[in-house]
């Protein structure tokens, strides 16, 4: 098993290193539109055991919208949302969501879309919590995103609103790196296998850029 994991990590690292080298930039989601935002949390019922999801509160946030392959509009692409909020100590907490589908099992796969407002976004991988596995997602509704949590096969349960303070279509493009492996939300633990893949991908992308 360890040998298989090592081979997978090496293959992923090499692939992302090559792609980043060809682009002279990040392998995927190279450039994004970055806007200031606000997360207004009202909590989750039933509780997940994750304070940030279960407890009401307001967070200042920085949100990046990006195209995975960097294809020009109006071509469909896998859209990404990078969400960063600051912890009470000022440390970053990062969450990455990709355009996907509303229902299981399709919401476990990234799917292309024609516009950032259309798809349901999903964390793709489920997170371990003290009370079981959960997915996180987002959906554009009435001028803001609803952030939601779900059991792997259960319905989405909104727990917060993500309110954009700028229009992404008019905001300038910026390069900003989100890393949910280095900056996880407390209580949301990434599965070991998925963490290996992400770490290998990030390592290869950094090597290719340098």
E strands, 10-87, in order: 32-41, 57-67, 79-86
Q: Among 198, 197, 195, which Cα is nearest to 177's?
A: 198
Q: Angle, to 10 degrees, between the axis of helix 192-209 and the axis of helix 2-23?
A: 30
pTM flag (> 0.95)? no
Q: Among 125, 152, 157, which Cα is nearest to 53's?
A: 157
Residue 107 near residue 100, CB atoms below 8 Å: yes
Along the 210 residues of the chain, how does pLDDT read in single tens digits?
455 445 445 654 554 454 445 445 454 556 689 999 999 999 999 999 999 999 999 999 999 998 887 777 888 999 999 999 998 888 999 999 999 999 999 999 999 999 999 999 999 999 999 999 999 999 999 999 999 999 999 999 999 999 999 998 888 787 788 888 889 999 999 877 666 566 655 555 555 566
Domain ranges across the chain: 29-209
CATH superfamily of 29-209: Catalase core domain (2.40.180.10)
Residue 178 near residue 96, CB atoms below 8 Å: yes
């Amino acid at each position: 098993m360890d040998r298989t994991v090592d081979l997978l990590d090496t293959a992923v690292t090499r692939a992302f290193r090559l792609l980043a080298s060809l682009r002279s930039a990040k392998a995927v989601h190279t450039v994004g539109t970055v806007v200031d935002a606000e997360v207004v949390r009202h909590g989750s019922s039933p509780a997940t055991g994750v304070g940030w999801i279960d407890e009401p509160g307001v967070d200042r946030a920085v949100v990046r919208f990006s195209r995975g392959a960097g294809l020009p509009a109006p071509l469909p692409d896998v859209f990404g949302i990078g969400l960063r909020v600051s912890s009470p100590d000022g440390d970053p907490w990062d969450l990455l969501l990709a355009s996907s589908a509303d229902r299981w099992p399709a919401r476990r796969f990234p799917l292309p879309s024609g516009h950032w407002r259309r798809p349901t976004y999903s964390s793709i991988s489920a997170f371990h919590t003290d009370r079981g596995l959960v997915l996180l997602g987002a959906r554009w509704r009435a001028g803001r995103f609803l952030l939601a949590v779900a059991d792997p096969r259960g319905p989405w349960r909104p727990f917060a609103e993500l309110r954009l303070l700028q229009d992404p279509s008019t905001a300038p493009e910026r390069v900003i790196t989100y890393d949910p492996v280095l900056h996880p939300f407390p209580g949301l633990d990434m599965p070991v296998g998925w963490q290996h893949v992400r770490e290998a991908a990030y390592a290869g992308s950094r090597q290719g850029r340098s």
